[in-house]
Chain A
Amino acid sequence: MILEANNITVSFGKNTVLHDVSHTFKEGKITVILGPNGCGKTTLVKAVVKLHARSGELAYIAQDMYGNIGLTVRDMVALGRYDRTKFLIGESPEDQEHIDRALTLMKLKDKEERIFDTLSGGEKQRCMAARAICQDGSWFIMDEPSSNLDAVHSKLIMDTARELTDKNGKSFIIVMHDVNTAVSYADEFVLMKDGRIIRVCETLTADDLSLTFDTSFRSVTTPSGKSVFYTE
């Protein structure tokens, strides 16, 4: 399935957040959307989700999480199988297998009977990631999936994304703020500013970032040949 955004314009009252944005996301790749706060990243991914939600191939992890959910971690992950479960019977052994695998992958197996609301922010994010993995679609859209995570668990989520892309042919669209994490995992960068896509590239440069964020970026190359960006 090809995921396209064609001429999307989104306005809230008189305020236009997205100006005629078009982009075709690449299959089997990790695409990272970068840009300053309020540039329309979340609006763009929400628009893409709304356009393609009915395909049944999309798993979406929203940026905001609600309180007062009242479900256990396992129940939350099981919701990822909702559109595949039998109307009256519930989850099949195959569904249970998917749920178990997702819980194990996100290291939540020992917390499966905890109430979701009692988890820490990072555990909640891993739970939502497990729910998306359990959904088993071909596209994953993640809006700041590692904003509440420590370095170890942030790496866990991004390594899982890389593995699912390389071994299972899944495709990822990830909105994130951490430029250096993005550089380590992305196959393609979409840079946004003021409700427009200003550049699409496979390799990120300090000039691209300076232009996007209106601040001076520089980069150094580590002995392993990897670029690390920093602001002055």
Chain B
Amino acid sequence: MQQHKVTSDGFYYKITIAVIILICVMAVSCCLGSSGIGLRDVITYFTGRGDELSSTTLTIIGKIRVPRTLTATLVGGALAAVGCVMQGLFRNPMADPSVLGISSGAALGASVAIITGLNGVIIFEAFTGAYIGAVAGAVVTWLMVFTIASQNGKYDTSSTLLAGIAISSIMSALITVLMTLHLEQMERVYMWMLGTFSASTPSKTKLLAAVVLVLMPILILISPRIDVLKLGKETAMTLGVDQKKTLALCLGICSCLLAFCVANSGIIGFVGLIIPHIASFFKVTRMRRRLSLSFMTGAIFMVVCDTVCKTVVAPGELAIGAVTSLIGAPYFLFLLMSSRIRGGRERSSV
């Protein structure tokens, strides 16, 4: 009997390594911070012997470090996954989560909440006005993009992309106008927009975890449809994939993920654009596998960056957006140059 050669891209090996690395960096991140709590205390906490620790140590580990590390993991993974989906759907290596205008919409919602003083209002447990404002802003923006893009009854990638870019510009302009009109609040809005994980709380992390753990598996399950859409609308139809439905479903899920990411940690650029490319150096081509690896790479990358943020200038903090660019960009350029030097090894761009 003829033996069929099934191309192996070593996906399961690569994802296992990624999971192990993620667990290691999460553990390191939990052990580091401005207070003197170290590995021994963290191990004591996780082995269920929390009553041996002081109440301050318990609070720092349970209510600050663990939620912060988990938030960085979930936000990093989700941003990278959304970037990967955008690049695949729009067949454009420059696409990133910001192209739909969701981040700008969320930032506008949060800015309005901060400027109108709603930020001080605690709506439910630790959910501030800015958090709710960001989610509301993101949802409203997505509905606007979707409505405008489907106006002519021909909802497709280019109309979505153009509507998203235009609405993103409007939202950014409105933020600038708001900041100019309320100079006294400018610093707070600006700091929020720079992005940080320092405001993570257990309740916010639980909600984010629920959103990511429900939506990511759905996105991974439907992601092969993105590959089919690359064949063109009509060919995809013959394979049972409807372009309009797939776009609406994928972008709806991405918008929801982005809304909660931005609400939790502000705008963090670069991750959604570059991580899918870094994941492409692992030579995994199919969307389902790329998406899973992008999620893991994004999570690892974000936890590392956040650990640098909170330790380098402790007890102060660096802006996460600056650190993601400062660490990620040189690493990406290194990968790019080394692949060129090795003789232009084939690399998939989307």
Please measure, in the bound complex, the distance between the C-alpha atom of A59 and the C-alpha atom of B232, giving whole angstroms.
13
- CB neighbours of B347 from chain A (8 A): 115
The number of chain B residues touching the other chain, given as a range, is 20 to 34
Quick one: CB contact mask for B38-77 with A, threshold 8 Å, 1 for yes?
Answer: 0000000000000000000000000000000000000000
- CB neighbours of B348 from chain A (8 A): 70-72, 115, 117
The 5 closest A-B pairs by CB, nearest first: A70-B348, A70-B350, A53-B237, A96-B4, A83-B240
Task: Provide a sorted-by-A list of 8 A–B residue pairs whose CB atoms are within 8 angstroms.
Answer: A60-B238, A66-B232, A69-B230, A71-B230, A71-B286, A79-B227, A80-B239, A112-B7
A41 at interface (Cβ–Cβ under 8 A)? no
Quick one: CB contact mask for A95-125 with B, threshold 8 Å, 1 for yes?
Answer: 0110010000000000011110110000000
- CB neighbours of B234 from chain A (8 A): 46, 49-50, 53, 60, 62
Q: Are B239 and A135 in contact (CB under 8 A)?
A: yes
Quick one: CB contact mask for B265-280 with A, threshold 8 Å, 1 for yes?
Answer: 0000000000000001
Closest beta carbon of chain B to A196's beta carbon, Å? 22
Q: Which of B2, B4, B91, B240 contacts A82 (CB 8 A)?
A: B240
- Chain A residues with a Cβ under 8 A of chain B: 46, 49-50, 53-54, 56, 58-62, 64-72, 74-75, 79-80, 82-83, 87-88, 93, 96-97, 100, 112-115, 117-118, 128, 131, 135, 137
| Contacts known (A71-B230, A82-B224); A118 close to B346, Cβ less than 8 A | yes
B93 at interface (Cβ–Cβ under 8 A)? yes
Nearest chain-B residue to A49 (Cβ)?
B234
Q: Are A135 and B7 in contact (CB under 8 A)?
A: no
- CB neighbours of A114 from chain B (8 A): 346
Number of A-B pairs whose CB atoms are under 8 Å? 94
Interface centre among A53, A61, A137 (most CB of B within 10 A): A53
B285 at interface (Cβ–Cβ under 8 A)? yes
B147 at interface (Cβ–Cβ under 8 A)? no
Nearest chain-B residue to A109 (Cβ)?
B5
Closest beta carbon of chain A to B198's beta carbon, Å? 37
Please measure, in the bound complex, the distance between the C-alpha atom of A72 and the C-alpha atom of B346, giving whole angstroms.
10
B241 at interface (Cβ–Cβ under 8 A)? yes
Q: Are A59 and B238 in contact (CB under 8 A)?
A: yes
Q: Which of B2, B230, B231, B238 contacts A53 (CB 8 A)?
A: B238
Majority SS at the chain B contact face = loop
B228 at interface (Cβ–Cβ under 8 A)? yes
Please measure, in the bound complex, the distance between the C-alpha atom of A60 and the C-alpha atom of B228, giving whole angstroms.
13
Q: Are B238 and A58 in contact (CB under 8 A)?
A: yes
Q: Are A70 and B349 in contact (CB under 8 A)?
A: yes
Given A79-B239, A112-B7, A135-B239: 16 more A-B contacts, CB < 8 Å:
A53-B237, A60-B234, A61-B235, A62-B234, A68-B350, A69-B350, A70-B88, A70-B280, A70-B285, A71-B286, A82-B227, A83-B239, A83-B240, A100-B5, A115-B348, A128-B231
Q: Are A131 and B231 in contact (CB under 8 A)?
A: yes
Q: Are B4 and A68 in contact (CB under 8 A)?
A: no
B16 at interface (Cβ–Cβ under 8 A)? no
- CB neighbours of A96 from chain B (8 A): 4, 6
Within 8 A of A (CB), among B86-136: 88, 91-93
Closest beta carbon of chain A to B199's beta carbon, Å? 37
- CB neighbours of B237 from chain A (8 A): 49-50, 53-54
Please measure, in the bound complex, the distance between the C-alpha atom of A128 and the C-alpha atom of B234, giving whole angstroms.
14
Nearest chain-B residue to A97 (Cβ)?
B4
Please measure, in the bound complex, the distance between the C-alpha atom of A190 and the C-alpha atom of B234, giving whole angstroms.
22
Q: Which of A61, A79, A88, A113 contacts B7 (CB 8 A)?
A: A113
Please measure, in the bound complex, the distance between the C-alpha atom of A64 and the C-alpha atom of B255, giving whole angstroms.
30
Please measure, in the bound complex, the distance between the C-alpha atom of A72 and the C-alpha atom of B92, giving whole angstroms.
17
Q: Are B227 and A75 in contact (CB under 8 A)?
A: yes
B20 at interface (Cβ–Cβ under 8 A)? no
Please measure, in the bound complex, the distance between the C-alpha atom of A65 and the C-alpha atom of B235, giving whole angstroms.
11
Q: Which of A66, A75, A82, A115 contacts B239 (CB 8 A)?
A: A82
B210 at interface (Cβ–Cβ under 8 A)? no
Closest beta carbon of chain A to B311's beta carbon, Å? 37
Closest beta carbon of chain A to B87's beta carbon, Å? 8
B177 at interface (Cβ–Cβ under 8 A)? no
Nearest chain-B residue to A73 (Cβ)?
B7
